[in-house]
Structure 1
Amino acid sequence: MITIKDIAKATGYGMATVSKALNDYPDISEKTKQIIKQKARELNYIPNNMGRTLVTKSSFTIGVIFEETTDYGIAHPFFSEVLAKIKTTLEQNNYDILLIGKKVGEYVRSYLEHCIQKGVDGVIVVSKIWDKDNYDKLINSKIPMVFIDHEEVNKNCVYTNSYDSIYHAVTYLYEKGHRNIAYIGGELDQIVGKERYEGYVKALEDFNLSIYPRWYLYAEKYSFENAYNAVKKLLTSDVPKPTAIVASGDVMAIGAMKAIKEHGLKVPDDISLIGFDNIRMAAYVSPALTTIAQSFEDLAKNACELLLTQIKNNNATPKKIVVPSTLVERESVKEIK
């Protein structure tokens, strides 16, 4: 098997230089990288993580943390889409991913302890961590990290502009003639939930539309079941019925769709629906769901780039990247004339 030592011998460079060049370290010139990588290809070199770790003091492993409490686990559409893009991006940079939990064997550990035990080079946090003590231990550590879909002070963060996205959704409905617009949202103590709700309220205010407190439908943890129950409760109450509902997640919109149909109403003839995320299922439900599309690829790519930059230079200034969204028009919104 060809090793870094063989490439070093063939090129005349030291083993440390060869290792850094193969892993795109910034302190190696592009010319040197090209020479070393070309020789590696000629020799059919296959990286060996154990050898790389000895030379670079790096495990070439990234820990991924997501705390998903709706029982979908990794099968949750948002997480599965983002994780797939993360995996592809990191593999292109010669990194493996490791899902980090709070339990190692028979022992319960904090996320931080698990990361240290496994020797990960950095951490990607894909959602809000609900266990505050566990969360604080992690963010107060010196492990390079990046947050997706959540904002944290003095940390790398990548997220969609939730406020503008929901404002855009309400504007779209207004332009379609809707004046009675309800909203399904999640926890307001999270930046995502708070900004999406504020975007909804601001749009109603700007268009001088009625704001009924009971038209804010709370669906805990953004789940299908909780959205279904919330809409079912609304439709069986004496509250005026909305002509449209904006859901801050496609999973919730699909739950709402089920409740509307079971009540003997039709989407969009009786109630129009807009979701958020543009998960794959959104295009295949009936009617196909109009939604605000997040770019899973951009979220994952930007997060990985920020993290890899910090791994190579832990003094790099943390950045916040806001990924734009787009409205995908399908079949779940009716124009009211």
Structure 2
Amino acid sequence: MVQNLADAYNDTSILFRFLRHLGWGDLVNIGYFTLPTLPAALGGLAPFQRTLARKSLALLDTSPGHVVLDAACGRGHTTACLADNACQALGVDIQPQQIELARERFGNRPRVSFAVADVTRLPEEAAGVNLTAGSIDRVHCLEAAFHFGPAGRRAFLAESYRVLRPGGRLVLVDLTWPDTAPQTLAELDPHRLVRDTWQFEDFDTPKTYVAYATAAGFDVSAVLDWTRPVVHRSTQLLRLASRLASSRGGRRALRLWWPGLAVLTHQDWQNLTAVLRAHQTLGRTAGYHALVCDKPDH
């Protein structure tokens, strides 16, 4: 399972190969897009990914000295941002390859550490940081819990509640599925082009997430709907990309703008077009929400 998940975030995936040439790598989230900033996508996607990370981290409301667990930290960008904000930041991820990259990039910074760990079953200690009950001030999880499955998401929420001190906070930002969607995710992805690309099976609804968090003991103080700036506007860009990728002239234009794409073969372009179109279909229905979950201080 871990290797399959790793393959979603390396050149084994044709979509990741494409996105890497467009600026993915430092971060691997979708990005946060506003209408005035959309044209800037011609310069790459990294600025939009950093914007999403900043908005997610801001919800933590950290203070200097806070001990923060960055759950499923990926390549460590958000963990390093927390440390730069005078927090003691521990980034954990189940993928050894990601932790290796995070350590290479940020391991020498003060107040930051990384460890391989399963956030649905945390150890009592990781990289010298205590993870026993009530030992952590904040927990952050940006766009990763959709990989966990329903049981894994419940387990992660329970683990987050356990390690947080009374008055602590979890911020969980994730893809979601509308309660009112007329079709299931599987019906809209019949060939599994989206689910197999990112190695997941389903999304929870916002109501289900709130129910999970409440059952774990949290007070859910905010549920922010970021569907439009994240999913809908990125889907607009995917629509444009799929149109370009499907024609000879469009592919030529893409290679001129991002020369690294010259390595893609004709078969790569055909596969990419199919995957982009599948993401478009799903993107018209999928949602994206940020949950702020507080552990009662009594």
TM range (shorter): 0.3 to 0.5
Question: TM-score by structure 2 length?
Answer: 0.44
Larger-Rg structure: 1
Question: TM-score by structure 1 length?
Answer: 0.40
